[in-house]
Copies of this chain bind each other. A is one copy, B any other.
Amino acid sequence: MEYIGPQAASACEALSDLCLRGGKRLRAALVSTGALCFRKPYDDKLLIDIGAAVELLHTYFLVHDDWMDGDLVRRGGPSAHAVLRRSHGQASGDAAAILAGDWGSAVANAWMAQLPLPPRTLTPVLTAFSRMQRDAVAGQLRDILAKDNDIELTYQLKTASYTVEGPINLGAIVAGATINDLRQIRRFAIPVGIAFQLRDDLIGLFGSTTTTGKPFGSDLRAGKRTAVAVCALERARGSNRRIIAETFGNPRASNRQLKEAVHVIESVGAKSLVEQRIVELLELAERQLRVAPVSAAGRKLLASAASALVLRSM
């Protein structure tokens, strides 16, 4: 990147620093898991290249999302726009962060285009990759703009399709999965992905701040339409409803108010309803997995992945 000059290259460096700073590498792991489900021989290096492109694509979304959500911390360090504001001021720093994300998207697509695959594999792999990109954007659009209560549609797009189904598909196609195989994987991946996001919401609301790495009650303060919050708002009446409404989307809600609201959300039954839904989705996914046309090793890995994703402790 040196050729574009040190100031412009600082944006690309902010992206690359964030990408290499860590993260769970969940999506790259699911690419490999998807490949282990099928039997056509493949070069391991392919999976590494795809996994790297997927993680770069993910970093692009994190950079844009953090700017939209005003999050200044990511992966234990400053988010990209926080770094770039420091060097270039607020307006140019924000523009540079958006462009840093755009840069990551271009480079990830360039890597994918150069995979040494025959066209009957390259076209579906690239189609799956651009679909991940499209669904993640659609999910984030719903997160920001949608006023309806179909929270599971948002989760299907932003988590199940983008985070679970897409990565598994990429590996599965490389290892010879057919369209019918992918259809059956989808029946497993979508409920797992939705349950994963539901669990993530519960951890965000009821987990310790050391587990979440976010300030207590931040989703409530931000007015995020999570399933548990929407469910509680639907069920609560009278003073209970007022207690939640006073914190929801109120950046100045006090810690005491937030604690009270979290207590009400639990007492009106929203927490246990979401927990029931998680169990239901996980059971559905497990049933689908039992009949999915995947290798024994793949089935075992997918089952472990599902439990690990969905039954994380708080």
Contact = CB atoms under 8 A, between A and B. Distances in A.
Interface of A: 3-5, 7-8, 10-12, 64, 67-68, 88, 92, 95-96, 98-99, 102-103, 105-107, 109-110, 112-114, 117-119, 122-123, 126-127, 129-131, 133-134, 137-138, 140-142, 144-148, 150, 153, 157
Given A67-B98, A99-B137, 20 more contacts: A3-B153, A5-B146, A5-B150, A7-B146, A7-B147, A8-B141, A8-B142, A8-B144, A10-B145, A12-B141, A64-B99, A68-B98, A96-B141, A102-B137, A103-B138, A109-B109, A109-B126, A109-B133, A110-B131, A113-B130
B130 A106 contact: yes
Contact of A103 (B12, B123, B137): B137
A4 B141 contact: yes
Given A64-B98, A123-B113, A133-B109, A11 B145 contact: yes
A8 B5 CA distance: 38
Contacts of A138: 4, 8, 103
B144 A96 contact: yes
B122 A106 contact: no
8 contacts: A8-B144, A12-B141, A99-B141, A102-B133, A102-B137, A114-B123, A122-B122, A126-B126
A11 to B, nearest CB: 5
Contact of A113 (B114, B127, B140): B127
Please classify the interface of chain A as helix (H, G, I), strand (E, B), loop, or mixed, using the class held by over half of its residues: helix
Nearest to A130: B110
B133 A105 contact: yes
Given A98-B68, A141-B4, A127 B107 contact: no
Contacts of A142: 4-5, 8
A117 to B, nearest CB: 7
A96 B7 contact: no
Contacts of A8: 138, 141-142, 144-146
A223 B291 CA distance: 63
A148 B144 CA distance: 38
B68 A145 contact: no
A114 to B, nearest CB: 6
A102 B103 CA distance: 12
Q: Which of A98, A131, A137 has the most CB of B within 10 A?
A: A137
B123 A123 contact: no
Contacts of A150: 5
Given A98-B64, A119-B117, A141-B96, A106 B88 contact: no
Contacts of A12: 141
A163 to B, nearest CB: 16
